[in-house]
Structure 1
Amino acid sequence: MKLQVGDKVPTFKAKTQSGENFKLLDYIGKPLVIYFYPKDNTPGCTLQACSFRDQYQDFQDLGAEVIGISGDSEESHDKFAKKHKLPFVLLSDFKKNIRNAFGVPSHLFGLLPGRVTYVINKEGIIVSIFNSINAASHIPTALKAIQKMK
């Protein structure tokens, strides 16, 4: 099932890069940017994560939280976050349960996990979905969607 604008975000639990338990329900009540990306330390994913990092304060100023999700391990996420000084949560989804719950498609004939960004309002409703392999385009698109909510 592929989620669409207007759908309620599925609730889930996962482990953060520091091994802590994460529950999406703890974040409902504030705007969220949840972005799925293929893999830590690849050129496009590093560009995307660092762009979210560089504009993280802009999201915070609007009351929004940024959450990155990929199939990498907690350890990989921890190294990636420390290396690039990422101030937001990265979640490990190695079994693809969260990716499947959102219906994130794959790219390149199913060989590459998809790159999709979801913007969710305070009520937990998806207000924007951006699906593009172009890593840099996700940040301004998500920021505009958050700004529209204000």
Structure 2
Amino acid sequence: MPRPPAVGTAAPDFALPGIVLPAPAAASRRDTYRLSGHAARPLLLAFYPGDDTPVCTRQLCSYSEGLESFDAVGVDVWAISRQGLDSHESFARKRGIGLPLLSDTDGAVASAYGIAVPGLGLRRSVFLVDPDGVVRWRHVALVGLSFPSRDELLAAVAAR
């Protein structure tokens, strides 16, 4: 199994289907999200184990509520898990999540990032990737009961 990409190395490229709910009552937008197609701004990739679970809900609601803060420092946020787009849409509508939720249903991207856990899914992880596709910061949890706060992520972006 690959190891998570080290700071200063290339992030594995990917193309995943995703959904974004721009506003709670708005129509969702489905698209394909490509790391290599996102070269305008730095990107935070937040891998999370599952839709509508307690810790994941706190994590993604926190990040979604802070989208203006992330935008103000010039960084985008995408969240990735193994659930399908219908599950993501239901989760986003129920919790008011406005950031793109990407579906890695076969776990290939989690495996490429070295965070797949056989039989369990993936490790809660966040990677800051610069516009050139290089990892500039990372947090890979051993146990998925905690996550980097919005302030920690903003500090990591500021330090890049």
- Cα deviation 1:112-147 (Å, max 9, x = unaligned): 521000011222110111122243434332211111
Query: Is 1:131 aligned to residue 122 of structure 2?
Result: no
The 5 Å alignment of 1:107-146 reads 111=120, 113-132=122-141, 133-146=144-157
3-state DSSP class of the match of 2:50?
coil
Q: TM-score of the superposition, structure 2-length normalised?
A: 0.84
Q: Which residue of 2 aligns with 1:148?
A: 159
Name structure 1 gaps, 5 residues minimum: none
Higher helix share: 1
**Residue pair 1:117, 1:138 contacting (<8 A) in 2 also:** no
Q: Which consecutive aligned stretches of 4+ in structure 1 deviate over 4 angstroms post-superposition? A: none
Q: TM-score of the superposition, structure 1-length normalised?
A: 0.89
Q: Which residue of 1 aligns with 2:26?
A: none
1:19 corresponds to which of 30, 44, 64: 30
Instruction: Name the Cα RMSD after superposition.
Output: 1.7
Name structure 2 gaps, 5 residues minimum: 20-28
Provide the aligned length of Structure 1 versus Structure 2: 147
Partners in 1 of 2:90 and 2:57 — Cα distance? 12
Query: Is 1:77 aligned to residue 79 of structure 2?
Result: no
Partners in 2 of 1:105 and 1:5 — Cα distance? 19
